[in-house]
Structure 1
């Protein structure tokens, strides 16, 4: 009833994940690789602080002090490569399997519908083909590599904050005041993307239908000389998303510029308050060393970069949710005449 009224019901994230449940072991391995990558950034912050401390030593001790840390960097490179390979391979395979499964389910549902359903404009051959090719592939944006990226960022940010509190809790508390501002910037960017996704996707579906139907029937189109009509219809459909994109771009640019400006303001606070801590006498509660300040600085910067990457997850997730809503609304539709049903009266022996 909701679908007939033009309102597509929301599908839960749990149901999307259940559709990918056969690949649970691939997803588990991929998330393990993401956790490994999440540990790398905080570990790098620790090593970076130790190396800076070594550079403050006498010249004769610098090379001997750097050798073990250089070996650690080599080890980090191997671990990063292995973790990235596991994450990309496992989550990529799981996502492609989900796409193939949704396309199979959707096509089987197409064949199940009654003839009156295909008479609707939104269920034309072009629109249904676009739904198979586009919507099914977008759904993995909620369960595939982007989910791994979100896990990696969450682990990195959590460990970065823990390390920052251990090395300089006062500086970390000062920088913590910027966290709500970063969250606001990410929220604004998410809202700007989410509001424009549904209408632009609908327009793209109609435009794709026009292209497919005109090319499939190109001989008829050419014989009737109506190429310009199809061209005009296509340009009219894509003009709307183009204008909305022009309106959306300044909003997204302002949100991105706001988040980047706040990030550099965080640099000012880090070095300003850090300089104050370094000048305090040992034993003072506000005292901190040069290397500790840089450990906090590096950890917080990676955490801030992680927050920026997390906001880039929002557009793909919003698109995935919209596509999942359309696909599962189709899968849940019960046709008035079910071609797959074996219920009802059955004819007897027709040979007599």
Structure 2
């Protein structure tokens, strides 16, 4: 964590960053620069620190101090920055340059730049694995990476899986997957499209039969024209024969249209269903899955990989069957016309088949690497663009462009390999085919001179040779495209076949509510942690809790306090059952019932959370509110906004509730976003309300507005609010004083003190009292 020390201009002091000026008098304020404060540094941080009412003259020193800080950051070692940027590790330190150790002449810190390197939003101090922020009204929680000790983030580096897999778990799950097995599973994916595919195959036979009859009829026409003594079959005249052929070709064209339409229709249905099924599977995964699979890679699987698989099953399958029919029919007609020339042609099949097998295997491996690399590009672009304010605040645009270009260049190099292999393959096939034609002309010419074959039959044979040659090339392409599909499908099967460690089945488990078959009555909000022992799946050797015991009575207002990194937010994750306790590691009871016995969705609907960093969707205020309660009335919305102290500013917007908030609520201030998040949580009418340091990232003015809303909830005597169990995670004394009971987390992963604020502050040299003193 990097700290600034700011001075108010009212005290006639300067403001500096890591390389700021000396201080002599006046109060000094410490500003923690983490993901929540840096994110809006250019348009909100100034007002956040010195107040909304300050003029441009008073803002200038802060801006200058930030520039000094940013320039020093840009001097950090490129190797460490590269590792951090790729997400391998993050380094944090408390050795921040003190203002008194700054060279006043050049404004540069005398401390090593290594001592001032900080984490850029990839890790904070709460001891939780980096995951996605979920603030879906009633079931959101912000999670952060595990720490080894307070204030220090682990720098351990996990070995990367081999190319083609995003994690060791995926590699293990896909181990031993044979191409034949993968192909069978691909066909099973298209089970619901079998009728369309069979219809397309039937039309394919019709259109291919017409196409393959063309050389035969052309040969007959040539013979009739060159030798008038030859009679036309069925006693037809030449013009009548042309009319019959035109009719046959019309039927073939209609059949070809139907084939293409049905194949494309089956492909579109398949890709739509596959994407929906994959997305559902992703949503049902546990938090461990999201710790090892980044968002951009999952998006790549949803878009690119599903397209490749769909094309492989539908269009590629159709093209392959057409090639099989063409080769079979062509060889049959060639054998009928001249077995001798057919044997010559067969000499070309052996090398072409060998090329296809080698090329297909190479393409399969290359496709897995390419798709994994494309997933990396997608996730890097998605991560950087979604945090563009951080990128620009640190002036890292050029470095990020270079990093992205390297990733693109890697994909380009893979593409070059594929291009070279494809050129070699198709060039070799073309050469082999042309050499066969030369042999046909040499051998066939002698056969015509010896009257062993007519000119028309030789012409037909050459046309059939061309058809068979192109069809063999089509089969080779079919084989290579199938290998691509198998390579991409392995990335889909990993998600589709992965069984989450937490069961999301909506029909299982006991449910709260009087209108349910397994009704337990209304949830009272009695929460117990009994002898809980827990460590994150990604860090099994690092205990977060050891023998944790908490008893929260129904309808009580409790707070959880403790130093950073002691697992306050981990308690919330366990309460929402983002992670499960292993057998023998204690219990979490809700109204006396083991949390594992409850229906997961039903339980989460009883809980609402207001996280430290609210997440709003890129839609209107109304839709963001309704996310937690789709059936809420207009009166419900107004009541929730009033409770959250948000009604006044929402009413000032020209469109009111229909105001578009932008991506992640960018058009709203931090305080406004937080109050909308509070209103959304209240709209769910939860039995348990969790306030996770909801004001820690706000400026003083926004904090007052939000704190007023929170205080009214904690001290409310309204019948609906009075029955809520409210859990507050906080370190501010003003918030803690309003709680009935405070649970204090200690160094050993357990509760060290319990009591009201006043009682805890009376304990001489108490842990809580010491903690509060450190915050002032």
SS in structure 2 opposite 1:6? helix
The structure number with the bigger radius of gyration is 2
More strand by share: 2
Q: Tell me, yes or no, if structure 1 residue 67 matches structure 2 residue 239.
A: yes
Q: How many residues align?
A: 342
- Cα pair 2:380 2:404 within 8 Å, conserved: yes
SS in structure 2 opposite 1:113? coil
Shift of 1:346: 6.7
Q: Tell me, yes or no, if structure 1 residue 78 matches structure 2 residue 243.
A: no
Distance 1:327 1:250 in 2: 28
Partner of 1:101: 273
Residues 137-196 of structure 1: CA deviation (Å, up to 9, x unaligned) = 211123201111111111111111111111111211222222112212333432342231
Shift of 1:19: 2.2
Q: Tell me, yes or no, if structure 1 residue 88 matches structure 2 residue 253.
A: no
Partner of 1:326: 491
Q: TM-score, normalised by structure 1?
A: 0.88
Any unmatched runs of 5+ in structure 2? 1-166, 513-519, 525-553, 555-776
Q: Tell me, yes or no, if structure 1 residue 316 matches structure 2 residue 481.
A: yes
Partner of 2:422: 252
Report which stretch shifted further, 162-171 or 174-183: 174-183
Shift of 1:302: 0.6
Match of 2:459 among 290, 294, 297: 294
- Cα pair 1:126 1:209 within 8 Å, conserved: yes
Matches within 5 A, 1:166-181: 166-181=336-351
Matches within 5 A, 1:39-50: 39-50=209-220
- Cα pair 1:189 1:256 within 8 Å, conserved: no
1:96–1:5 CA distance, 2 compared to 1 (3 A): closer
Match of 1:165 among 335, 353, 357: 335
SS in structure 2 opposite 1:334? coil
Q: Which one has more relative contact order, counting CA pairs under 8 Å at least 6 apart?
A: 1
Q: Tell me, yes or no, if structure 1 residue 31 matches structure 2 residue 201.
A: yes
Distance 2:465 2:399 in 1: 57
Partner of 2:355: 185
Q: Tell me, yes or no, if structure 1 residue 272 matches structure 2 residue 442.
A: yes
Shift of 1:308: 0.9
Partner of 2:285: 113
Shift of 1:212: 1.7
Matches within 5 A, 1:196-207: 196-207=366-377
Distance 1:177 1:5 in 2: 44
1:321–1:247 CA distance, 2 compared to 1 (3 A): closer
- Cα pair 1:210 1:233 within 8 Å, conserved: no
SS in structure 2 opposite 1:335? coil
Partner of 1:211: 381
Partner of 2:469: 304
Partner of 2:635: none
Shift of 1:254: 2.4
Distance 1:269 1:172 in 2: 11
- Tell me which stretches of 4 or more aligned residues in structure 1 moved more than 4 Å: 341-348
1:15–1:133 CA distance, 2 compared to 1 (3 A): same
Q: TM-score, normalised by structure 2?
A: 0.42
Match of 1:336 among 497, 501, 521: 501
Distance 1:119 1:185 in 2: 42
Shift of 1:78: 1.6
Distance 1:230 1:119 in 2: 23
Distance 1:323 1:248 in 2: 16
Distance 1:65 1:179 in 2: 39
| C-alpha RMSD of the superposition | 2.5
Shift of 1:41: 3.0
SS in structure 1 opposite 2:486? helix
Distance 2:299 2:417 in 1: 29
Shift of 1:219: 3.3
Shift of 1:65: 5.1
Partner of 1:17: 187
Distance 1:298 1:227 in 2: 59
Partner of 2:720: none
- Cα pair 2:327 2:471 within 8 Å, conserved: yes
Shift of 1:238: 1.9
Distance 1:246 1:21 in 2: 36
Distance 1:320 1:248 in 2: 15
1:258–1:201 CA distance, 2 compared to 1 (3 A): same
1:197–1:267 CA distance, 2 compared to 1 (3 A): same
Residues 114-135 of structure 1: CA deviation (Å, up to 9, x unaligned) = 1122122xx2221111111111
Distance 1:258 1:42 in 2: 25
1:196–1:336 CA distance, 2 compared to 1 (3 A): same
SS in structure 1 opposite 2:335? helix
1:156–1:247 CA distance, 2 compared to 1 (3 A): closer
1:79–1:220 CA distance, 2 compared to 1 (3 A): farther
Shift of 1:207: 0.5
SS in structure 2 opposite 1:28? helix
Shift of 1:344: 5.9
